[in-house]
A and B are shown apart, each in its own frame.
Chain A
Amino acid sequence: MLDGQNGVRECYAEVQSWVQRTGIAGLNRRLEEAEAIFRRIGITFAVYGEGGDPERLIPFDLLPRIFTAREWRTLDRGIRQRTRALNAFLHDVYHRGEIIRAGIIPSEIIYNNSAYKPEMVGFSPPGKVYSHIVGIDIVRTAPDRFEVLEDNCRTPSGVSYMLENRDIMTRMFPDLFAQGIVAPVDDYPAELLKSLKEVAPPACKGDPVVVVLTPGSLNSAYYEHSFLADLMGVELVEPMDLFVQDGRVWMKTTGGPTAVDVIYRRIDDEYLDPLAFNPDSLLGIPGIFNVYRNGGVTLCSAPGAGIADDKAVYTYVPDMIRFYLGEEPVLANIQTWQCAKANECAYVLEHLHELVAKEVHGSGGYGMLIGPKSTAQEIEAYAARIRANPSEFIAQPTLDLSTVPTLGPASVVERHADFRPYCLVGKQLRLVPGGLTRVALTEGSLVVNSSQGGGVKDTWVLQD
């Protein structure tokens, strides 16, 4: 909220005066109301294996995070650019592998990667779209500089919070929105449905039947799955509701089997089809992958799309943008050292106390080391893991992240935050002006993941 000279950034002026009018006690009262509403409507996420309340609220912060229209134009351009490059890359690595032939990405990073699915080689999904919902995690590192932390090409979650946070903010503070300066995000479900219908498979005749596939109501993101199915007006199915017959995928309905055209799946590749992938999986739909390859159904995202959001591949995304699009990247990557490379690995091991180290395949903030916050013992233990298996790790600098104003118990405090917008890919790209802002709730903490105690807040994109 501050401009670096201890003044309030202009875009936050309205919010600041509202904070002053309402007072901290008033805001905290409102926060309790908001949490009661969240609890009542059931926006919860599950945290596995910790006991206690199995369905927890993600802490919600009342103060919005604000982007100006100018900032958003840059972000919008950068996100679309990255999304196009990632999908082009996916098509390439499952076909001719030009980027590898050109010597830009080493082949072992791709072909030895568990996220790479040889079963996809030579197959082109409808519209050549592999990742239909691309969630890109972005941080601001300087007033005019945004850098990408991570790409999510499989099933980025959290979009329900983008919509619910906005809903609750408009409910609680109608006067803040009355001036019409905040760009709306509520088109998202309609845009998602449009995008999904646009990638219907060749076998589809007529209006495509779209479903959302969830592992079930015990999944941590089940609320989001049902929320999206609900807002799109499509069936929310579990694997047991689907079966394969005569080259199509069918869902079991009260009136008998109904053909399904497009599946927005929120389950991992490994659990999709025991015949094609993990044979031990009890979750999947036997034979679905074969139907997919023969054009009977579209899976969103495509199996094997995870190779594009791998943390080792991430370092090459700026090169992908140059290679496939012939453009300069709008959004920078955060500097990343790859432990797979001997010289970079040596640097990482030497500087572990000042870096953030991550597992290449890790997610949700698990299995990472934040050097400056760790003890010598923890650092040594992590170093041993890196030495044992260097190619499984990367490291990044602990960033000088910007902070956003956040409601503390007694005053407005500054906390680190990141931002995840959601870019939809059908026949065209679609991006609603907003996304999910995640905020670290502990002073100085850089960890914003909900599984690690982070919170969320509404994100405003101001209109000109």
Chain B
Amino acid sequence: MLSRTAENLYWMARYMERAESTARLLTMGQRMAILPGAHHRDEWRSVVRATGCEENFPADAHVRESEVVGYLMLDPENPSSIRSCLARARANGKSARTMLTQDMWEALNEGWRKLDSYDLAEARQQLPSLIDWVKTRAMTFRGAAESGQLRNEGHDFLRTGAALERAQMTLRLLDVKYYVLLPETEVIGGNRDHYQWTSVLHALSGSRAYHHVYGGAYTPWQITDFIMLNRLFPRSVAYCYDQLAYRLNRLAGWHDVRGKPHDTVQQMVAGLESIDSGEIFRRGLHETVQSGIASTDRLALEIAEAYHFG
């Protein structure tokens, strides 16, 4: 398959995934902001930090909801805004049009200019329904690929992009947890901490699943275990790594060549297999997460190189 097509499929999936993750983060922001004492905690900052956009907000003032919604939902200049992600995903899809099913294309194309017509006031007012709309777009797209796309290497590139983006977003969300949700003066497992951990589960649509796995009680150790290491939860880091390994393995099969990304992803999977949540906290959550982010970044570069992207 054309390298350009592979690259387009990979990025198309990443942008759709990113649009959805950003929508989920906005939900998390709203939820945290209505918890007691939110004003003192600068909750919206954690949201922009998780999207990697913190440098665009003043360091010495509270980040306001309206700024975040404008920047992450609507801003055409922000390459990571939901609006930009949807437009980029569609542009990628258009360039790789022949690899998409009709349903996939329709999922990308339908309403792709919807956000153009919203101003900030409207968008804030209708935030929950807009967030639902974005999630529905992403889910329809994923479903269309799931049910109709040929299982050729194009599908593997698509899934590789989605898994990589999802792993990165989950890791960043955990990192935010470290920064914002674990201030130094706070005792781990304290009351406020409890609310904030649950909001992370909510952002990942994982609170129900969590209960099914761990039965009732919230503890930071279990939640970390769930988000980092649970192989059954499709947004956990371990699950995403497994997916990446599986997809890259299939790609190696198509081409009969293994390269750097295949070694890297094996190390990533093995690294997570060898630890438990206790070990993560002994090493430091932040350090573990940081090294995870570094690995996924490296993996992304190696994939681009191995398959001759742009």
Q: A: which residues have CB within 8 A of B?
A: 40-42, 216-217, 222, 226, 229-230, 235-238, 240-241, 251-256
B4 touches A41 (CB 8 A): no
Give 1 or 0 for each of B248-269: 1 = CB within 8 Å of chain A CB: 0001001101000000000000
Known: A237-B2, A241-B2, A254-B3. A41 touches B109 (CB 8 A): yes
Shortest distance between the CB of B251 and any CB in chain A (Å): 8
Among candidates A40, A41, A222, A253, residue contacting B1 with C-beta atoms closer than 8 Å: A253
**Which residue of chain A lies nearest to B257 when distances are taken between CB atoms in the complex?**
A255
Tell me which residues from 1 to 38 in chain B have a Cβ below 8 Å from any Cβ of chain A.
1-6
Contacts of A40 in B (CB 8 A): 106, 109-110
Tell me if B95 is interfacial: C-beta within 8 Å of chain A.
Answer: yes
Rounded to whole angstroms, the CA-CA distance of A145 and B251 in the bound complex is: 59
Measured CB to CB, the closest approach of chain B to A13, in angstroms, equals: 35
**B255 partner residues in chain A, CB cutoff 8 A:** 254-255
B95 touches A217 (CB 8 A): yes
A40 to B94, CA, bound (A): 13
Asked whether B1 lies within 8 Å of A254 as measured between CB atoms, the reply is: yes
Contact A238 B109 (CB under 8 A): no
Chain B: minimal CB distance from A34 (Å): 15
Contacts of B109 in A (CB 8 A): 40-42
Chain B 92-112 interface residues, beta-carbon cutoff 8 Å to A = 94-95, 97-98, 102, 105-106, 109-110
Question: Is chain A's interface secondary structure helix, strand, loop, or mixed overall?
Answer: mixed
Q: Which of B219-271 contact A (CB under 8 A)?
A: 251, 254-255, 257
Query: Which residue of chain A lies nearest to B307 when distances are taken between CB atoms in the complex?
Result: A254
Q: Which interface class (under 10, 10 to 19, 20 to 34, 35 or more) fits B?
A: 20 to 34
Chain B residues with CB under 8 Å of A41's CB are 102, 105-106, 109
Q: Which residues of A contact B2 (CB under 8 A)?
A: 235, 237, 241, 251-254
Q: Is B91 an interface residue (CB 8 A)?
A: yes
Q: How far is the CA of A226 from the CA of B153 in the complex (A)?
A: 19
In the assembly, what is the distance between CA of A238 and CA of B5, in Å?
A: 10
Cβ of B308 under 8 Å from chain A: yes
User: Can you list 23 contacts pairing A with B, beta carbon distance less than 8 Å?
Assistant: A40-B110, A42-B94, A42-B105, A42-B109, A217-B91, A229-B98, A235-B1, A235-B2, A235-B98, A236-B97, A236-B98, A241-B2, A241-B4, A251-B2, A252-B2, A252-B308, A253-B3, A253-B308, A254-B1, A254-B3, A254-B251, A254-B255, A255-B1
Shortest Cβ distance from B92 into A: residue: A217
A221: min CB distance to chain B, Å:
13
Tell which of A226, A237, A241, A253 touches B97, judged by Cβ atoms closer than 8 Å: A226
B13 to chain A, nearest CB (A): 15
Quote the shortest CB–CB distance from A283 to chain B (angstroms): 15
- Closest Cβ of chain B: how far from A239's Cβ, in Å? 11
